[in-house]
Chain A
Amino acid sequence: MRREWSVAIAIGALAAALALVAPSYFSAENLRDIFLVNMPVLVAAIGTTLVILTGEIDISVGSAFAVCSVAAGVAAKAGMPTALAGLTACAVGAAAGAVNGALVAYAGIPSIVVTLAAMVALRDGLRWTTQGAWIADLPPRFQWLGVAQSTFPVVAGLASGLLVVAFAWAMRNLAAGRAVYATGSNAQAARLASIDTAFVKLAVFTAGGALTGLAALLNSVRFNQIPSNTGIGLEMKVIAAVVVGGAAITGGRGTFTGTVLGVMLLGAIGPALTFFGVSAQWERALQGAIILAAVTVDAARAGLSRTALVGA
């Protein structure tokens, strides 16, 4: 829980600095924009948190996001209601996740390799299928999920908030959540305790894929066309947020509160630079520094606790 506090304090410090130097950062439009840009990241990060908790990684999130976006657009243009188009996006994402998950869980291929292959295959498969064309002329009822543009942030905020709360609650209180932590903590021990770790891995990849589909939908409805090269680098944003939020990349440790805070900090920092009058070019570098700081603190703390254990 200490990591969550440090990230929260960092966010607080950033907010305080902004309040002094650039109070206009807190204008309703700016906050709404930042929220809308980062909400898909948050939704995808929920899935990646699950995957990382089991000790695996998914770097195909960005490519899957593009495929799901296009799928949602094509479905909407084919006359499907928005809900159905969204379900299509989720189903496509879940299918891609299930393939990844099955290869990791049952074929025993390292997830970094499987999802690297998926990342390239999905991206290039999509490029080949669409010939680089964007999905344009989306039906108006698809835009903003069919609600007013001003209501959409409320709807989306509620949806993503509920999703986070639901997942956080489930991970604490459901046997399934326990199984995810146990699998990531020590897969062999979990297996001996009758947990079907292969199925757990398949399930988290599938759930992660479905959440990527949902993220794609929530992003797509904000524009009137869908670029077929969307989502490039999203996987890194998402993984960075999860890691900054305190999840152990080796699995078994991490919380959804941490992930939410990680998304907030990394998402708030870029626009903040503009308000501080610093070139936006520095955004990536600064995000990198934050990630490095987070893992360094972890390593230092692990070192400390190792020393303490000697006395035991």
Chain B
Amino acid sequence: MAGLLLEAAHITKTFAGVHALRGVSFDLAAGEVHALVGENGAGKSTFIKIVTGAESADSGTLTVAGRAIHRMDPPTARALGVAAIYQNPALFPGLTVAENIALPLDGGRAFGRVDWRARRRNASQILKQVGAAIDPDREVGRLSMPERQLVEIAKAIGANARILIMDEPTASLTEREIGGLLEVVRRLRAAGAGVIYISHKLEEIFAVADRVTVLRDGESIATRPRGQIERGELVRLMIGRELTTMYPKRVVPLGDVALELRGVSNRTRGVRQISLTVRRGEIVGVAGLVGSGRTELAETLFGLTPPDEGDILVNGAAAAIASPAHAIRLGIGYVPEDRQRHGVIPAMSIAANTTLSNLAAVSSRGLIDRAAERRASTKYVEELRIRTPSVLDAVEGLSGGNQQKVALARWLSIQPAVLILDEPTQGIDIAAKAEIHEIMERLAEAGVAILMISSELPELLAMADRIAVMRRGAIAGIVSRSDATPDRVMALALGHAA
């Protein structure tokens, strides 16, 4: 076919006897956005690694712009115009935007002189091309996440990339920022580039992709033009079975107020005058743009950065929460946003991770009863359906969804009154997401008060009894379940009149 930028045929890859890819075929035309979807572990990342030359395929052929590539490695990929943009941009935070964009162009001339003016001119030209209003002299470390992503794209364009691979580029962006990014993707397409777009968020796929290929268990299951597939079918193809409802929130009778905030402020963290109640059995969602103070509020409640004003009441009693240990004693649990860095300790075993917040439960006088610890964590592994051969295995070997379940299990062991969840399903595949939602429901039914921070509107709308929308550190409005619509929540988050 003419105009094919990339053609991968029957790609197979095995790691230590496990088939990561079995005969995946995929092609990309110039001026096309081709989405690649599938659950975590379906083989998307492995496929991308083969296209970028980070891994070599066991068998199959790779053709770039009509040329058969026998041995793909990263320099070859770069020379062929293949560039990948990941969720967390791989930029140098201490260098300026212009320098970052120029780096792939400099090649290996260690003693070549730097033409600063050309560099800056070049950078601003490329930035304009992707529609980014960023000063090339700014230090990348001071840019916001979406700005960094734009710089990453500009860097790829600067290096004459024709095939752009975007791997979950919107995972840390807000709805509005996503809109901007998708606009850039369309612009690249119009300029004749080919984009491989990977995302868990189906809205984005339907907004931007020309074709969709579904990977499941290392096989390419189907490739369809966007117009010839609808959501339900796509989800079914991805998980290989029908999900009746994506978000199965049941109605739970609400109990007493478990958590009450009266004018809580934390000036240094930018949290202002928060008043909010969460009842037993209730799930209160916290919406807002990135930077609106949601995580800061959670960290204030958990005692990481105690408030400087206002009152926090737990089960009706005033509590001056001064440290995480104090919060835990009061029955507050917190699953932070960055699972790998904060939620679990990857190098430690599942058993050690689940008991870490409550070692007292499995020990007497500071002495850990290892058998009791194994029993306790085995119970949670079964209850939460954590897929692992043994509770003594390190958490780092688990998939994202299972790691998140371990992070949750830790808090179940303290039988929390209040559970704060920060982006509980970010970067998790659909099936695991449904399981996490199911666990949240069971907790709510058991009378736990849940405060759920999320950037995913569908998740908030489906799971939350009420949604508190934050803007600039304060609550812009609280919307009840029956009144909540995407428009209403977004209007509050952005500060427009609804």
Contacts and interface: CB of A to CB of B under 8 A. Distances in A.
B317 interface: no
Question: Top 6 closest A-B pairs, CB basis?
Answer: A311-B15, A194-B325, A193-B356, A175-B359, A193-B357, A186-B345
Contacts of B399: 312
Interface in A152-194: 173-176, 178, 181-182, 185-186, 188-194
A174 B367 contact: yes
B380 interface: no
Interface of B: 13-16, 18, 20, 41, 45-46, 49, 55, 302, 304, 323-325, 327-328, 334, 336, 341-348, 352, 356-357, 359-360, 363, 366-368, 370, 397, 399, 410
A253 B336 CA distance: 24
Interface string A222-259: 00000000000000000000000000000011000000
A27 to B, nearest CB: 43
Contact of B347 (A188, A194, A252): A252
A175 B347 CA distance: 17
A11 interface: no
Given A186-B347, A252-B348, 17 more contacts: A173-B367, A174-B367, A175-B368, A182-B348, A185-B345, A186-B342, A188-B341, A189-B342, A192-B304, A192-B324, A193-B345, A193-B410, A195-B356, A252-B347, A308-B15, A310-B49, A312-B15
B366 A175 contact: yes
Contact of A176 (B45, B343, B348, B366): B366
A33 interface: no
Contacts of A195: 356
A196 interface: yes
Given A173-B368, A194-B328, A311-B20, A186 B341 contact: yes
A310 B325 contact: no
Contacts of B356: 178, 182, 190, 193, 195
Given A175-B359, A178-B356, A312-B41, A192 B342 contact: yes
Given A175-B363, A189-B345, A193-B356, A312 B49 contact: no
A190 B366 CA distance: 17
A278 to B, nearest CB: 40
Contacts of A174: 366-368
Main secondary structure of the interface of B (DSSP, over half): mixed
B269 to A, nearest CB: 16
A188 B342 contact: yes
A191 B304 contact: yes
- Interface size on A, as a range, is 20 to 34
Contact of B348 (A185, A191, A194, A312): A185
| A173, A175, A307, A308 pick with most chain B CB within 10 angstroms | A175
22 contacts: A174-B367, A174-B368, A175-B363, A176-B366, A182-B345, A182-B356, A185-B347, A186-B342, A186-B346, A186-B347, A188-B341, A189-B344, A190-B356, A193-B345, A193-B410, A196-B323, A252-B348, A309-B397, A310-B45, A311-B20, A311-B46, A312-B41
A291 to B, nearest CB: 22
Nearest to B41: A312
A165 B163 CA distance: 59
Contact of A192 (B20, B41, B336): B336
Nearest to A195: B356
A309 B304 CA distance: 33
Nearest to B19: A311
A310 B366 contact: no
A182 B368 CA distance: 15
Contacts of A185: 345-348
Contact of B334 (A192, A253, A307, A311): A192
Contacts of B397: 309, 312
B325 A196 contact: yes
Contacts of A182: 345, 348, 352, 356
